[in-house]
């Protein structure tokens, strides 16, 4: 019996496990056990954590993994030992013949006074739920300026999506006051990663939604009633949402290879960790070449195909079958701008190809359909969706 262990059940982990099961099925292979180890018994649609309704963001693993016979164990992984082919988790030790590391990334909360105690995030489902409950709790208390004000720190993609969603969320919770949302960033511009083409669209959306900005400034302290900026300004708020800075899961350090500045593991075109035998990596923990000039970006856009290919290759590798290399010839970004629509850019230079309602239709198709596994329990449909093929660019149709 060969043991394939997949760590994580996010966009990379789920699809790696399904990709492996599909390859086993395709080869008619026997004597394989595929096990997913994850801290949650869910496949979380993490990209939707900024939305007001979290109901569609959590899929029980039983719905997707049980129909194809993949075991899953809810446990926190605490160590990976490549020398002994052993993973340690809260459920005990697990040995593997091949391992896929897909433990994702985490928002980094720096050591700013009060941030860990009073700050919120939308990094995980639990974080987003905590924010949701906090806002609902504020709405039940006496309306104050602090209660109806939210400060979002980090004007990158996650921060912009969160800031654009909050005015309508606050308006429905505080109908008798004028809600205020402020977006803070150290950079002199919003959406620095989105480039010059998208910036005017983002700025216009923030303006339409009444989102204020404080740019070129940092946060020096957070408490229950406000946030202090590096300029000395104090913004009265009960809600600080931290969206600045992502790092790969720190367990990547256990593999003992040099990692990039985001803590990611270098992988080859087959998703094998360079310099470590029998370990593959996919998603936010891995840095893979997407074309001759560009490395993967922490995104579900890259994480899902990396997972499918890693799953295919891990089984092929065990059976001495040819591996498939992953190269993705296109790159897009579709950023939600809340009630102001969305902005859709193409290419690594991110030039805008659609905005407003047209881009929003594509974003809704991505968030509501494209990135979901089949949820009908149909084994064949689930395996087919895990094929190592590339999707075409997203559109409003799919």
Shortest distance in whole angstroms from residue 383 CB to ligand FAD: 19
Smallest CA-to-CA distance from 11 within 266, 332, 285 is with 285
Shortest distance in whole angstroms from residue 251 CB to ligand FAD: 6
* Measured distance CA(156)–CA(212) in Å, rounded: 15
Kindly state whether residue 298 participates in binding ligand FAD, applying the rule CB under 6 A. Answer: yes
The helix (H) or strand (E) run that includes residue 119 is: strand 119-120
Q: How many of the chain's residues bind ligand FAD (CB under 6 A)?
A: 32
The helix (H) or strand (E) run that includes residue 379 is: helix 379-385
Q: Which of 19, 104, 263, 388 binds ligand FAD (CB under 6 A)?
A: 104
Shortest distance in whole angstroms from residue 298 CB to ligand FAD: 4
DSSP letters, 190-245, are S-GGGHHHHHHHHHHHHHHHT-EEEES--EEEEETTEEEETTS-EEE-SEEEE---
The residues, any chain, with a CB within 8 Å of residue 305's CB and separated by 6 or more, are 15, 326, 328, 388, 390, 391
Kindly state whether residue 182 participates in binding ligand FAD, applying the rule CB under 6 A. Answer: no
Binding string, 65-94, against ligand FAD, x = CB under 6 A?
-----------xx-----------------
Q: Which of 5, 17, 47, 138 binds ligand FAD (CB under 6 A)?
A: 47
Kindly state whether residue 10 participates in binding ligand FAD, applying the rule CB under 6 A. Answer: yes
Tokens 């590339």 belong to residue:
390
The helix (H) or strand (E) run that includes residue 327 is: none
The helix (H) or strand (E) run that includes residue 268 is: none
Kindly state whether residue 13 participates in binding ligand FAD, applying the rule CB under 6 A. Answer: yes
- Using CB under 6 A as the binding rule, the residues of this chain from 230 to 289 that contact ligand FAD are 249, 283-284
Cβ 313 vs Cβ 386: under 8 Å: no
Kindly state whether residue 169 participates in binding ligand FAD, applying the rule CB under 6 A. Answer: no
Kindly state whether residue 154 participates in binding ligand FAD, applying the rule CB under 6 A. Answer: no
Q: In angstroms, how far is CA 273 from the centroid of its own chain?
A: 21
Kindly state whether residue 8 participates in binding ligand FAD, applying the rule CB under 6 A. Answer: yes
Looking at the Cβ atoms of 221 and 257, the one nearer to ligand FAD is 257
Using CB under 6 A as the criterion, which residues of the chain lie in contact with ligand FAD when the complex forms? 8-13, 37-40, 46-47, 49-50, 76-77, 102-104, 122-123, 157-158, 161, 249, 283-284, 298-301, 303
């Amino acid at each position: 019996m060969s043991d394939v262990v997949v760590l994580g059940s996010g966009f990379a982990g789920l699809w790696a496990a399904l990709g492996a099961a599909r390859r086993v099925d395709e080869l008619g292979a026997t004597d394989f056990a595929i096990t997913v180890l994850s801290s949650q018994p869910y496949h979380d649609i993490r990209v939707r954590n900024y939305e007001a309704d979290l109901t569609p963001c959590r899929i029980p693993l039983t719905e997707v993994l049980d129909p194809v016979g993949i075991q899953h164990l809810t446990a926190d992984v605490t160590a990976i030992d490549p020398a002994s082919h052993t993973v340690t988790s809260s459920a005990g030790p697990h040995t593997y013949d091949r391992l896929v590391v897909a433990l994702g990334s985490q928002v980094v909360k720096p050591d700013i006074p009060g941030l860990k105690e009073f700050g919120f995030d939308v990094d995980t489902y639990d974080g987003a739920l905590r924010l949701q409950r906090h806002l609902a709790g504020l709405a039940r208390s006496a309306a104050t300026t602090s209660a109806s004000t939210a400060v979002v720190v980090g004007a990158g993609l996650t921060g912009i999506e969160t800031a654009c969603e909050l005015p309508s969320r606050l308006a429905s919770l505080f109908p008798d006051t004028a809600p205020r949302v402020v977006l803070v960033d150290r950079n002199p511009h919003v959406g620095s990663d989105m480039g010059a083409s998208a910036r005017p669209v983002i700025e216009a959306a923030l303006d339409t939604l009444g989102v204020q900005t404080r740019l070129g400034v940092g946060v020096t302290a957070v408490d229950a009633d406000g946030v202090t900026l590096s300029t000395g300004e104090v913004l009265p708020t009960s809600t600080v949402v931290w969206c600045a800075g992502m790092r790969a899961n720190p367990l990547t350090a256990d593999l003992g290879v040099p990692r990039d500045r985001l803590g990611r593991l270098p992988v080859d075109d087959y998703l094998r960790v360079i310099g470590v035998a029998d370990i593959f990596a996919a998603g936010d923990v891995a840095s893979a070449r997407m074309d001759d000039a560009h490395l993967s970006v922490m995104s579900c856009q890259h994480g899902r195909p990396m997972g499918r290919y890693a799953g295919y290759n891990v089984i092929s590798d065990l059976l001495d079958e040819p591996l498939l290399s992953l190269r993705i010839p296109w790159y897009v970004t579709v950023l939600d701008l809340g009630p102001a629509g969305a902005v859709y850019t193409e290419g690594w230079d991110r030039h805008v190809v659609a905005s407003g309602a047209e881009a929003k239709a594509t974003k809704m198709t991505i968030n509501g359909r494209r990135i979901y596994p089949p949820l009908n329990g149909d084994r064949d449909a689930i395996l087919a969706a895990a094929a190592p093929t590339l999707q075409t660019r997203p559109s409003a149709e799919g």
